[in-house]
A and B are shown apart, each in its own frame.
Chain A
Amino acid sequence: MNNDLILLGHGSGGRLSHQLLDELIIPQLSSVPVAGQNDAALLNIGGIKLAFSTDSYVVDPVFFPGGNIGDLAINGTVNDLAMMGARPLCLSVGFILEEGFSKAELARILASMREAADAAGVAIVTGDTKVVPKGKGDRIFINTSGIGAVEHNLHIDGASAQVGDKVIVNGSIGDHGIAVLSAREGLEIDSGIQSDSAPLNGLVADLLPLGPALHVLRDPTRGGVATTLKEIALQSGVTITLDEKSLPVNPGVKGVCSILGLDPLYVANEGKLLAFVAPEQAEAALAAMRRHPLGKDAAIIGEVTETSAGKVQMETLVGGVRGVEMLAGEQLPRIC
């Protein structure tokens, strides 16, 4: 096989993405290997602790049930900051527009960016707009970067999971990926599923009072819950055991996944977080989440069972046990 080209799978958030980062990007640009990376960088500038993160948005189609590329671009970066326990302060926005893109659609996207930024309580303070010739881009790409204030002394980190921790998710998994997929040309499934795109900083603020019992926060976006948990297991050197029957999955998501041969554990989320909490505080964390509108369907889905080289396993619905690996390649439909 020819290894000289970038493949779509390099952008999947799964194993190929990790390879690209580890082999090409990080050695040139950073001293921290991908396994040591979190959703945002922590900076200490003259005694002031800040979180800093950036993300680019290329979703296709641009408009999908429950959102569009605009609110996604705000919420995604807000959430990356929130996963460090930071209070998002301000964002930059960069647009790459394709010649011929409709101004009316751009206006709709801008309106939802405004709305999402207001909902998250962040200011958009700087930006940039470029236009590329028709055919040289795909309608609209957006980059956002954000700065957040870190006002706690907790060690919330992908490497902080400990044996006994309960794994909590704030609601149903796979909604965003299925909403986008079902809006895609050629599929047109009326699944009724809406994207879960939402800012999670409010929910995180409600979890911070748990104090040192809060070990890990991570939003399972590309690659889904499975890939994110595998990353945490590797970073912390632990085994995570999931309980399949406690995984919250919408019936519509379950249905589309079973038609297309997808596994909801690998489908992207944009308004979900995974929290690892010490067992004695797990019920309190669950209760705190359930009091928040974005956490009313929160559930404990598993726990950290032992130290290891980084393993995720799942007790299946029927009581069997199977391994859970990172997303490999792209999530593709079945063939028969």
Chain B
Amino acid sequence: MNYSDSFRDKELVQGLARRIAELTRGLSKPLVFMEVCGTHTMAIYQFGLRSLLPPEVKLISGPGCPVCVTPNSYLDRAIALCRLPDVIITSFGDMLRVPGSSSSLMEERAKGADIRVVYSPLDAVQLAARNPSKRVVFLGVGFETTAPTIAGSILAAKAQGLTNYFVLASHKTMPQPMAILSADPDLQVDGYICPAHVSAIIGADAYRFLCEEYKVPCVVTGFEPTDVLQGVELLVRQALAGESKVEIQYSRVVRWEGNAKAQAMLADVFTPFDAPWRGIGVLPGSGLRIADKYADFDAELAIPVEVEELKEHKGCLCGEILKGKVSPFDCPLFGGKCTPESPVGACMVSSEGTCAAAFKYGR
């Protein structure tokens, strides 16, 4: 048995599930816990964890998929950029199928735009170095886990003296949307399964204000099945005891103070700003834009381009799904008009999107 297998041990997992069932047996109202990280969404579906939990515990998905929370306006700008003859767009794969107002990057690629999937932003920097007559734009999307690598790519491009590498930045940061959701009177959240790797960067202390202001339990939880169920057990115990504190289940990786070096890099290269979230709106201080001293690398400033008028997709419930208010199965478009091949909303596109996971792995 290797290291990761031990976190997928059937007996351990089922023992945890039994303990959760015993703790919650006979509760008149189910406890509702929300995960706000796409990797948790995937793990829960992939291992069929909902099928192991008692009816007294309900897991819902929040705005944890970076592709899903990226607004149409961002996609429209990326599409406008890719139509420029000397621009090469580089991106992680999932962004390609996300529909903008009237097109998608995949469609633009089929029409001849130069769009390449890379596995690291440093590959995009290398591409810029090899193609001095082109402007290489990396689509910088993601939470605090991805942002430091993109900060690193800007620093690398600067160190190499490159003037043809740019980032179209739409980074999001984590605790703020959880506060918005906690303040929403229409939404019942009895505890948060806090992100694993985001917390490794920002530190578990970042969630304290949620516990204090909104009296909601927070447990920083790992991605393996035993992690998730142990996180759920800790949330159940807090909820039953009427407590609200931050606990770290994922103690093999996450510290209270986080990763100081990554935090310093983010503070150097980026500046917090009021970011637009798909379906949720503009949240104060919830995103990262490129800091003024690195403005030469900011695609939005350095490559002016006309962006088409914003059109939202009618009938798509992405926004409500991202807030955990409805499940994908409640959306009238799910599985019919909206499928992974012809997605209406971003939640159906990303491999970590709630709708895509629900479509692939079922209820």
Contact = CB atoms under 8 A, between A and B. Distances in A.
Interface of A: 1-3, 5-9, 15-16, 19, 186-187, 245, 251, 258, 260-261, 263, 313-325, 328-330, 332-336
B111 interface: yes
Interface residues of B, number: 57
Contacts of A5: 107, 110-111
Interface of A, secondary structure class, is loop
Contacts of B225: 317-318, 320
Interface in B83-115: 92-97, 99, 103-104, 106-107, 109-111
Given A318-B47, A322-B45, A332-B117, A1 B8 contact: no
A251 B350 CA distance: 26
B341 A325 contact: no
A332 B45 contact: no
Interface string B299-339: 00000000000000000000000000000000000000001
Contacts of B4: 258
A211 B295 CA distance: 72
B359 A328 contact: yes
16 contacts: A5-B110, A6-B110, A15-B340, A187-B119, A251-B2, A315-B48, A320-B49, A320-B50, A322-B47, A322-B51, A332-B117, A335-B66, A335-B141, A335-B142, A335-B352, A336-B352
Interface in B159-205: 197
Contacts, number: 131
Contacts of A258: 4
Given A5-B110, A335-B95, A322 B119 contact: no
B52 A8 contact: no
Contacts of B340: 15, 328-329
A301 to B, nearest CB: 17
Contact of A1 (B38, B95, B99): B99
Contact of A318 (B49, B106, B110): B49
Given A7-B107, A321-B48, A328-B360, A335 B146 contact: yes
Interface string B69-84: 0000000000000000
Nearest to B344: A1
Given A1-B342, A318-B13, A336 B39 contact: yes
Contact of B103 (A2, A15, A316): A2
Contacts of B339: 15, 328
A62 B66 CA distance: 35
Nearest to A258: B4
A20 to B, nearest CB: 10
Given A318-B8, A334-B94, 7 more contacts: A1-B104, A320-B50, A320-B51, A320-B225, A322-B361, A325-B359, A335-B351
